[in-house]
Amino acid sequence: MCGIVGFTGSRKAAPILLKGLTRLEYRGYDSAGIAVLHDGAIEVDKVSGRIAKLSEKTKDGSLVPGVIGIGHTRWATHGAPTDINAHPHLSNDGKFAVVHNGIIENYLALREELIADGYVFQSETDTETIVHLLEMYYTGDIKSAVMKTASRLEGSYALGIVSTDAPETLFVVRESSPLILGIGVGENYFASDVTALVAHTKNVIYMEDGEIAELSPNAISVYDCTGQKITKPVSRVTWNVEAAEKGGYDHFMLKEIMEQPAAVKAALAPRIHEGQIRLDDFELTAEDLKDVRKIIITACGSAYYAGCSGRYVIERLCRIPVEVELASELRYADPMVDEHTLVLVISQSGETADTIAALKECRSRGAKIIGIVNVVGSTIAKLADYTLYTWAGPEIAVATTKGFTTQLAVLYLFAVYAAEKLGRLSPEKYDSLIRQLMNLPKRIQEAIDMNYQIPSVASRYASQSLFFIGRNTDYAIALEGALKMKEISYLHAESYAAGELKHGTIALIDENQPVIAVCCNEVLADKTLSNIVEVKARGAKVLALAFRGNTKIVSQADDVIFIPRVDAVFSAILAVVPLQLLAYYAAKEKGCDIDKPKNLAKSVTVE
Ligand code: AGP
């Protein structure tokens, strides 16, 4: 949940490290630090708080001399976010500094052992054990000390190491945490994410578990876990640095909401050729699909809600039973999964620890795994049997928006593709669904354009507590709408299946309890309308979300947000857009830190 970055070259390192950290700040933002080697000594600067504070302290890095260094932005796990617990951590002899993303699970035992051996700890972190192990194992060969240290660590780690005994060389090693090397001209880099590298280079190397690398200004050498040199493929990043910048918007979240028409198009268009879906990434035959007795969708947070929505679409079109399971639950549920189960694993980052564990659990029981992932080269993309990339481009705001809608787009594609293969669709229905899929980017744009009044609606509805209700796919979107509201505006928001209110929750409804009713599923619209009438009878103010032209809703709800009309199976991808905007403007009204909500981080790489 942290971001790490490193640079070696002939330019001043500190400004480059700080800029890189700024791009990684979405990964964690409670403290930050850099370590730069100069004149045979390592200078460490670290602060609790944001990168901006570190930049201020070091005058954007200009006060820190040196052309090789490492940096870290933290989401605290072991020890409070204080200056002392911030990374980098230094060895007692001052020879090594380390930054770490991940968790060392056996750190307590290691800490006791190291203390008994006379090492003095400054911090409460698990990471500090690593730097003392390096000192302990170092006898003149840093690579060998790194390998010995790594062999003692249990858990997940991407480590960046600088040493006074290697004035031009950085050392890195990874296990279950992302790590990417950037190849420059006369300079090289490492980072947790390509967003920190694209300003310098588009040529990158994705490190795999167990691999170690040495980076000097003119060379990168990668070794396997036995120390054998290996040749790694160089990948080319396909997007530009502007994609990871705000581009005139106040927040990344708003920019990413506005990017949804283009992002959904990028997810759909390359896979639809002459009216036919072709999953360029892989092919499933009718026989493969007939062998599937059930589908499990597993994910966390918003990705889980994308799965909840996708379930209705897959079941309706394919008539295969679908279970949607929270990855954090599935991993310990002794799940009923076998070789006839197809598991769809959804993750924007591809690095969510619970989702990875659920994937492994299902794989160990013989299931085939399809990853629906945004980040190229991420762990889930590598572990899955097949990967369907969502092609949303970099998503920086902690609250996902285009990550979510592109997940829905890919789930829709999968559902229509599988239904057609299984012979469940008439040619006319298939053609009509394909046409509608192709039109979704335009419809999303309309959903944005026709809702210019949302800032004022948000200011009227942003009260202390909100209820979101809906049925079927509307319920899935109510869940996502409530999560968006909670995570960025800190307003209490709950979501209920509309028909469930009367079984207890309705006791909470009164004139102080606004209700947001998602009412886009036309088959069930009248049912949800009855629930609107019920809550209105108890005094609630109701904001409804419905298809354009739904006149019945206007007479019942206090306010209505409209979206363009589409086939009910695809309504969720439109319905969520105004709810994202509603949460955004509610949070803005409250003056919240929208892109970096408190206590959160973008990719949750801890259990
Ligand atoms: C969504 O806004 C959240 N920040 C969060 O729920 C997120 O969707 C969840 O942590 C899963 O992340 P992933 O898609 O990267 O696996």
What are the per-10-residue average pLDDT scores of the chain (607 residues)? 94 97 88 96 94 94 96 88 92 97 94 97 95 98 97 96 98 94 98 94 95 98 96 91 85 96 96 91 86 97 98 96 97 92 97 95 96 94 95 95 98 97 96 97 96 92 91 96 97 93 88 94 88 92 94 92 93 97 96 91 80
The pick from 302, 374, 379, 389 for probing ligand 1's pocket by mutation, whose C-beta has the most ligand atoms within 8 angstroms, reads: 302
Distance from C-alpha of 52 to C-alpha of 55, rounded to nearest angstrom: 5
What amino acid positions are annotated as catalytic residues? Answer: 2, 602
Q: What DSSP line would sit under 194-214, residue for residue?
A: GGGTTTT-SEEEE--TT-EEE
Ligand 1 environment, Cβ below 6 A: 300-303, 347-349, 352, 355, 398-400, 487, 603-604
Q: Which residue has the tokens 């049912």?
A: 527
Q: Report the separation in Å between the CA atom of 251 and the middle of ligand 1, taken as the mean of its atom positions.
A: 18
Kindly report the backbone phi and psi dihedral angles of residue 258, in degrees, each rounded to the nearest multiple of 5, phi listed first. -70, -25
Q: Give yes or no for a contact between 13 and 215, defined as CB atoms under 8 angstroms apart.
A: no
CA of 345 to the centre of ligand 1 (A): 13
Q: Which atom of ligand 1 is nearest to the CA of 300?
A: 11
Give me the pLDDT at residue 606, please: 77
Q: In sequence order, what are the residues at sequence separation of 6 or more whose Cβ sits closer than 8 angstroms to the Cβ of residue 503?
A: none
- Which of the following CATH numbers is that of domain 454-590: 3.20.20.70, 3.40.50.10490, 1.10.150.110, 3.40.50.2300? 3.40.50.10490
pLDDT of residue 243: 81
Q: Using CA atoms, how far apart are residues 368 and 282, in angstroms rounded to an integer?
A: 13
Atom of ligand 1 nearest to the CA of 401: 2
Q: What is the DSSP letter of 178?
A: -
Within this chain, domains 3-245 and 454-590 share the same CATH topology: no
Domain 3-245 architecture: 4-Layer Sandwich (3.60)
Domain 254-448 has CATH 1.20.120.1200: no
List the structure tokens of 603.
Answer: 């990719």
Q: What's the 241 CA to ligand 1 centre distance in angstroms?
A: 23
Report pLDDT for 241: 81
How many angstroms separate the CA atoms of 157 and 101, rounded?
5
**Dist CA 1 CA 314 (whole Å):** 32
Sequence-ordered list of residues with C-beta below 8 angstroms from that of 92, at least 6 positions apart, any chain: 119, 120, 132, 135
Residue 193 per-residue DSSP state: S
Cα–ligand 1 centroid distance for 99 (angstroms) = 24
* CA-proximal residue: ligand 1, atom 2 (nearest): 399
Mutate to test the pocket of ligand 1, among 309, 389, 604, 606 (most ligand atoms within 8 A of CB): 604
Cα separation, 544 vs 560, whole angstroms: 5
Which among 471, 437, 477 is positioned nearest to 310, based on CA atoms? 477
Domain ranges of the chain: 3-245, 254-448, 454-590
Rounded to whole angstroms, the Cα distance separating 14 from 22 reads 12
Helix axes 427-449, 260-268, angle to 10 degrees: 160
The pLDDT of residue 198 is 93
Q: Residue 526 to residues 317, 393, 499, 550, 556: CA-CA distances in angstroms?
A: 23, 38, 12, 11, 11
- pLDDT of 502 reads 87
Residue type for position 538: R
Q: What's the 512 CA to ligand 1 centre distance in angstroms?
A: 31
| The two three-digit tokens of residue 605, written as one number | 């790489």
